[in-house]
Structures are given as C-alpha cells and as structure tokens.
Structure 1
Amino acid sequence: MNWGKGLILGMSVFMLFILSMCFYMFRVPADEYDHQYYEKGLGFNADFAKERQVVTDHAEPKVTVTVNTVIVAFTAPATGTAKFIRPSSASQDKGYAINTRTQNTVALPVGQLAKGRWHIQLEWQSGKKQYLYQQELSL
C-alpha cells in the first residue's frame, strides 16, 4: 500500500468516527435541568424567610406516615399547599390543598403514589405569617 491510499483510508476512518459521534450525541436524551433556575434564585430570599419563620415561631409541623395517608399536624390552624416531589421523576409530583379549619391536622391520601423516596414541601399561612417546611419521606 502506498502513502496516498493510507492517508485516504485514515481520513475516511476518522470521518466515520466523527459522524458516528454526531449521530450518537443527537440520540442521547436532553439533560434534565430546571428551566426556572433563575426565577427560583430570585425568590430564594422569600423562601428562606419563610423557613426561618418556622424556626423562630417553633411552628414545625409533625409529619406521620401511615399505610395510605400522610398526617400533618400543625401548631395552629393553617391554609396552604402540600407538594409531594419525587426526586427521580418530576412527572410523578403531586400537590394538595391544605385547609385545617378549626382542627390543626390534615390527612393527605398517598395510596396512589409510588413507593420509595419523596420530598414533602409544605407552604402554609397561619395567622398573618407565611411558613415553608421541607422534609424527606419514605412511602
């Protein structure tokens, strides 16, 4: 084999390698990143203030996991939201409205949620104060 054939063969193998890497990169699924990253960063101080309010008022709710329900006991009547966040899949996230009225507990049905690790994010208002509490759960 002479130099010309070797150069052409080497260049064609290199070009096939580059083309195969291009096809591979287009087939790989897109990175899952938070599209609201900057907006959440701007609201971080408000969330941090709500989390600090829980500590200063000693208003940490008690979360109890049973077979098909999660029972949340607040220190005072509360209205707000509860979000169950699945770390492995955002499509399985679930939200509930909270209104304890005169009693300070609320039962959230979780029988349809997948078993495994979850994060619960409680955001509520009690009196005229806003609160935010997060905890990791195992269902």
Structure 2
Amino acid sequence: MNWGKGIIAGMAAFMLFILSMCIYMFNAPADDYDHQYYEKGLSFNKDHSREEQVTKDHAEPVITQNNDRLVIAFAQPATGKVSFMRPSDKAMDRLFKLDSGAGKSAEINLQGIAKGPWQLTFEWESDHKAYLYHKEVYIK
C-alpha cells in the first residue's frame, strides 16, 4: 500500500466517523431544557417568601384521606388552588380550586384520580396573606 491510498483511507474513515456522529446527534431524544427558566428565576423570591410565610405563621395544611375524599384543614379560612402532579405521567396532572368558606377545611373528590404517589402544590390566600406549600401524598 502506498501513501496516497493510506491518506484517502484515513480521510474516508474520518468522514464516516463525522457522518455517524451527525446521525446519532439528530436521532438523540429532545433536550428537556426548561424554556421558562429565566422567568421562573425572576419569580423565585416571590415563591420563596410565600413558602417562608407558611413556616412563619405555622399555617401548614393538615391533609387526611377519607375514602374517596381528600380533606385539607387550614389554620384560617382559605381560598386558592391545589395542583396534583403525577411524577410518572405528566398527562395525569390535575388542578383543583380550594375554598374553605367560613370554615377551615376544604374537600377534594378523588374519583378519577389514580392511586399512587402524587406531588401536591398548594397556593392559597388566607387573612390577606399569600402562601405556597409542597407536599408528597400517596393516594390509596
């Protein structure tokens, strides 16, 4: 084998390597980059202060499950929303409105909610203060 054939074979091998890397890159799964990253960063302080408000006011909601109902007891009458997020399937995520009325508890009907682990995010207002609370719950 002479030098010309070796150089051509080396260039062909390098070109095949580059081509295979291009094909691999385009077939790789999509990047899970959060496109709202900067907006969430700007609102972080607001969310953090609402989470601290829960601790400062000892306003953590008490969550109990009775048959097909989830009962949430607040320290004061509250209105807001709760997000049910399923770690294994984003399509199962749900949003419910909360309103305890004059009382201190609210109920959520669990019919149609799959059993298993759920991450709950509570956002509510009580006594003109905003609160944010995260809790992981296992629905039976």
Q: RMSD of the TM alignment (CA)?
A: 2.0
Q: Structure 1 residue runs of 4+, over 6 Å off?
A: none
How many angstroms apart in 1 are the aligned matches of 2:24 and 2:115?
A: 34
Residue 73 (structure 1) aligns with: 73
Distance 1:18 1:68, change over 3 A: farther
Residue 4 (structure 1) aligns with: 4
TM-score (norm 2): 0.85
Residue 127 (structure 1) aligns with: 127
Summarize the alignment of residues 33-72 of structure 1 with structure 2, pairs less than 5 Å apart: 33-65=33-65, 68-72=68-72
How many angstroms apart in 1 are the aligned matches of 2:18 and 2:66?
A: 55
**Conserved in 2, the CA contact under 8 Å of 1:120 and 1:136?**
yes
Distance 1:120 1:9, change over 3 A: same
Distance 1:16 1:69, change over 3 A: farther
Distance 1:5 1:69, change over 3 A: farther
Counterpart residue identity of residue 102, structure 1: A
**Conserved in 2, the CA contact under 8 Å of 1:67 and 1:111?**
no
Q: CA deviation at 1:80?
A: 0.4
Q: Which runs of 5+ in 2 are unaligned?
A: none
Secondary structure (helix, strand or coil) at the match of 1:52 reads helix
Q: Give percent identity, aligned residues only.
A: 50
Matched, 1:30 2:5: no
What is the total number of aligned residue pairs between the two structures? 139
50-59 or 115-124, larger mean C-alpha shift: 115-124
Secondary structure (helix, strand or coil) at the match of 2:9 reads helix
How many angstroms apart in 2 are the aligned matches of 1:115 and 1:27?
A: 35
1:30-50 CA-to-partner distances (Å, cap 9, x unmatched) read: 111221111111111111111
Distance 1:12 1:90, change over 3 A: same
How many angstroms apart in 2 are the aligned matches of 1:114 and 1:10?
A: 58
Q: CA deviation at 1:77?
A: 1.4
1:32-71 CA-to-partner distances (Å, cap 9, x unmatched) read: 1221111111111111111111112111101224564432
Q: Which runs of 5+ in 1 are unaligned?
A: none
How many angstroms apart in 2 are the aligned matches of 1:27 and 1:70?
A: 44
How many angstroms apart in 2 are the aligned matches of 1:52 and 1:119?
A: 19
TM-score (norm 1): 0.86
